[in-house]
Copies of this chain bind each other. A is one copy, B any other.
Amino acid sequence: TESTVEFDPMEFLREFNYGRTSMLPDGTTLREFTIIAEDDGVMEVAPGVFYNVWTFNGTVPGPTIRATQGDLVRIHFINNGEKEHTMHFHGIHRPEFDGVFEPVGPGGGRFTYEWRAEPVGVHPYHCHVMPLEEHIVHGLYGVYIVDPKEERPPADEMVMVLNGLDTDFDTENNLYGANTIPFYYQHHPIQIAVGEKIRLYVVNMLEFDPINNFHLHGNLFHYYPTGTDTVPSFYTDMITLSQTERGIMEFSYDFPGKYLFHAHKVEFSEKGWSGIFLAEGP
């Protein structure tokens, strides 16, 4: 039983899931999310290349889950796959909600994860069932953002998960990208406005390779490693990330036109991890 997976990286880029909200008696905001795992999806990741994707809510990456520091986050997890899966979130939580020692059974197994959203930052989530590299490289991961109570300044916000695809099962990636589809944002440039602040939440989920990296053309960005501070640590055009390293990049372009961004590990950029910002405006 295979199902065909459709995925639109342009839609994913700026889509944030804030959950179903309600207020608890003590004034805390409760955010509830329902996440369904499946492992029978097939996606055409490049022309003629079909890949067995394992998905949270039907896509790779899964939905970008977003809360404000101190909110109560409740995840209703349902495993509709044929293998055991879990959700393991980076961030602070009780060990019983860590998604490691309690695999959730296939065919409809359920588990509810719950914690106060801590700390401020951008964090990955992923399945933590062994063999871990298999569950990751097939796509069971996503991004979890905890906003500070005092909001960051307004910006055009985006999420990029840096990932890869091992299409011939030899534990080496054959294709690379930001948000799964090789060269997607190169063939479909990301439209931004001249002079507008861009805030990019970037998470490296690349399996097998020791590191990934991100280079921005014609500009530098302020970089907040892990996003846990509201003061940037670096001003650069190059960051290096091993698996699950992540952060927030902020920048704006002063001149209209096309600007590449890509891995400066050339092999990765030539196999798909390359895109374009198209800055338009006055």
Identify which of A88, A94, A98, A264 gathers the most chain B CB atoms within 10 Å of its CB: A264
For the complex, what is the distance from the CA of A234 to the CA of B225, rounded to whole Å? 7
A93 within 8 Å of B by Cβ?
A: yes
The CA of A101 and the CA of B254, in the complex, are separated in Å by 19
Among B211, B238, B245, B269, point to the contact of A132 (Cβ < 8 A): B269
Say yes or no for A22: interface residue by CB 8 A criterion: no
Give A138 to B127 CA distance when docked, in angstroms: 36
What's the Cα separation between A251 and B140 when bound, in Å?
A: 28
> Is A218 an interface position by the 8 A CB rule?
yes
Contact with B along A86-109 (1 / 0, CB 8 A): 001011111110101100000000
* Bitwise interface map of A from 108 to 128 toward B, beta carbon under 8 Å scored 1, else 0: 000000000001010100000
Residues of chain B lying within 8 A (CB to CB) of residue A95: 217-218, 255-259, 279
Q: Across the interface, which residues of B come within 8 angstroms of A243, CB to CB?
A: 213, 264-266
A173 at interface by CB-CB < 8 Å? no
Question: Closest residue of chain B to A97, judged by CB?
Answer: B218
Query: What are the residues of chain B within 8 A of A270 when measuring CB–CB?
Result: 130-133
Residues 195-236 of A at the B interface (beta carbon under 8 Å): 207-211, 213, 215, 217-220, 225-226, 228-229, 233-236
CA distance A233 to B235 in the complex (A): 11
Minimum Cβ distance to chain B for residue A170 (Å): 14
CA distance A92 to B264 in the complex (A): 17
A211 to B206, CA, bound (A): 14
Point out which of A132, A207, A256 has the most chain B C-beta atoms below 10 A from its C-beta. Answer: A132
CB nearest to A132 among chain B residues: B266
Q: Is A129 an interface residue (CB 8 A)?
A: no
4 interchain residue pairs of minimum CB distance: A95-B257, A226-B236, A240-B242, A133-B266
Q: Could you jot down 13 A-B contacts, CB within 8 Å? A: A95-B256, A95-B258, A98-B217, A100-B217, A119-B235, A121-B220, A131-B270, A132-B269, A220-B226, A233-B234, A238-B242, A242-B264, A244-B264
Which A residues form the contact surface with B (CB < 8 A)? 88, 90-96, 98, 100-101, 119, 121, 123, 130-133, 136, 207-211, 213, 215, 217-220, 225-226, 228-229, 233-238, 240-245, 254-260, 264-267, 269-270, 279
